[in-house]
Structure 1
Amino acid sequence: MTTGQAHLDPQQSWHAALHRLQQQGEPHVLITQVTSAGSTPREPGARMVVTATHVYDTLGGGTFEWQAIAIARERLAAGEAGISLEAFSLGGRSGQCCGGFVNLLIDVFPGAPVTLALFGAGHVGRWIANLAAPLPWKLLWHDSRVEAFPAQAAHQPRLECRHAPRPEDAVAALPAQVHALVLTHDHGEDYQLLKALLARGDYASLGLIGSASKWASFRSRLAREGFSAAALDRVRCPIGVGPNGHKSADKTPYAIALATVAELLFLTDIAAEAADSAAPSGARGVAPQALRQALSFPNDSPITSAD
């Protein structure tokens, strides 16, 4: 993985980059120098932001900064959210002649917790995009028609509009574990999108707009094309169905969109709870002992760390 200074972006400060990346829901790492002892390139409070391809601001350069960038990118690649402390003996671990000791707080933001792939910029699609705007989701909005998206979509954070004339290409470009909603203006396009998504199989959830009879017709065709009952059972159609299978009698675009977003919130909450229950229990964040060590520097010695 490339970690060197060639990707340093001098046009944007760390705080401007942090604000932009947070708004866009893009994965990034904030690195803060929290303690120093002896001769160090910069003082506590220095910060930098690291993404998979760019570095914003600097901790003073040198080998220890290069090592910090490498650590940040390894954790981004692994999807490891959370904070940790890293200790650097500049004369030991980092091989810099200035000596000194530095502790860095590494805060990993793995990106938006939910990515929604929305196919269709019609009435229901537009309402879904509007209702999802305040949520911390990333929205990938697709339509095969030219100029189908409303003008205000260009100003919505975490929203990417994609002209998608070929369903198979649009689906192939999606990241894994998206929540996909298929609600285009054309039943044939709906079918091709659904077929491509089922063939991938690595989505978090899959919903199709339409009636029970539409789904019965689609299901029969898809089964004949070789899709298993287990795969087809994962498709939600109609979308926006509440507890105990309740579906609102209000069929206006706003009501359908509202019920659909509520349904997605329920699905994502279940997934988040499952992830929390699988995580190790107990204390979270930086271990208290590591924090005490970072703030003390007993006998002017470096904090224990692998050189």
Structure 2
Amino acid sequence: MKAQHWYDAVVKCEQQGIAYVLATVMGAAGSVPRDQGSKMVITENSQYDTLGGGHLEYKVVQHAQQLLAENQVGNFIEHFPLGASLGQCCGGSVSVLFESFAVKGLNLTVFGAGHVAKALMSILSQMPGKVRWIDNREDMFPRQQYDNVQTILSDDPVAEMKTLPVNSQVLILTHNHQLDFDLVEHALKRGDLSYVGCIGSQTKAQRFQMRLQHKGFDEGTINNMICPVGDTSIPGKLPIEVAVSISAQLIQHLEQFKQAQPQRQGVSWQTIKQDLVKGKAVSSMPNKVE
């Protein structure tokens, strides 16, 4: 739990492109930990402000983080009786509005911490969103830290691929061609990543395509691999030039992906009134980003 006020937390999440849930006490009956209108912000790894603590807050945080893990976006209401089931003796009941906001901007994982990746981070750090940076060589990560970049030291990068969020982007820039292929293979097997880019030449791309065909991947799936990665209209082979090219392509992809997503839906005032009166866990269907 962090003491930061919920409003400041919302500003931080919006500025840094962090996915979050704003939880608000919409209705309260009887003895409750916090009054109507109390709010808190929940992210993947943190909570800001409070709804009064205890098991109620634990359940609210748990529910909010499940929404984030499933990449669900929308507004909906849940009802919590404060009885023995929640281990609280208040005896009242609380209706909580959950407003779930997806990552704005990048939700990118970069495999490899070589020269191109280092140059790329200096650009990505200025863009909204979240970046995970994975390598198995601790000494390859620079000392300089960026607010929106999480460095992950992992002896098994392929295993990390299996844990990435749905609809996130993947960029493969490792020093090992076999590792590159293994990562591409597992990324395509998932089938739920919005962008799979791999650094390399046309020759490397053709070899990967042939190997994927031999492993039974169909043409449509193989075509989801972007290799060589980057905007071909931007020339140059220096690390910073390649990084600019990749950044340009990522920006184009994000805009296209954004345009393809369904519009966010809210909860009607009739639904809110009905839920508060009945005290039932009736919710609007959140938009699951496909």
TM-score, structure 1 as length reference: 0.68
1:96-245 equivalence runs, <5 A: 106-111=98-103, 114-152=106-144, 155-241=145-231
Change (3 A) 1:139 1:221: same
User: 2:251 aligns to what?
Assistant: 265
Change (3 A) 1:208 1:304: same
- Distance (whole Å) between structure 1 residues aligned to residue 81 and residue 105 of structure 2: 35
Question: Any unmatched runs of 5+ in structure 2?
Answer: 281-290
Deviation at 1:181, TM superposition (A): 1.1
For CA contacts below 8 A with separation 6 or more, give which structure has more relative contact order: 2
Aligned: 1:18 with 2:4: no
- Distance (whole Å) between structure 2 residues aligned to residue 256 and residue 160 of structure 1: 22
Deviation at 1:218, TM superposition (A): 2.1
Deviation at 1:248, TM superposition (A): 2.5
Kindly provide the amino acid, as one letter, of the partner of residue 258 in structure 1.
V
SS in 2 for 1:151: coil
Deviation at 1:264, TM superposition (A): 1.2
SS in 1 for 2:138: coil
Change (3 A) 1:230 1:285: closer
- Distance (whole Å) between structure 2 residues aligned to residue 274 and residue 286 of structure 1: 22
Kindly provide the amino acid, as one letter, of the partner of residue 168 in structure 2.
V
- Distance (whole Å) between structure 2 residues aligned to residue 149 and residue 59 of structure 1: 39
Aligned length: 275
Change (3 A) 1:215 1:53: closer
The structure number with the bigger radius of gyration is 1
Kindly provide the amino acid, as one letter, of the partner of residue 101 in structure 2.
F
Aligned: 1:304 with 2:280: no
- Distance (whole Å) between structure 2 residues aligned to residue 107 and residue 149 of structure 1: 36
* Percent of residue pairs identical: 32
TM-score, structure 2 as length reference: 0.72
Change (3 A) 1:89 1:181: closer
Q: Is the 8 A contact 1:21 1:28 kept in 2?
A: no
SS in 1 for 2:121: helix
Q: Output the aligned Cα RMSD.
A: 4.1
Question: Any unmatched runs of 5+ in structure 1?
Answer: 1-8, 295-301
Q: Is the 8 A contact 1:120 1:183 kept in 2?
A: yes
User: 1:29 aligns to what?
Assistant: 21
Q: Is the 8 A contact 1:182 1:190 kept in 2?
A: yes
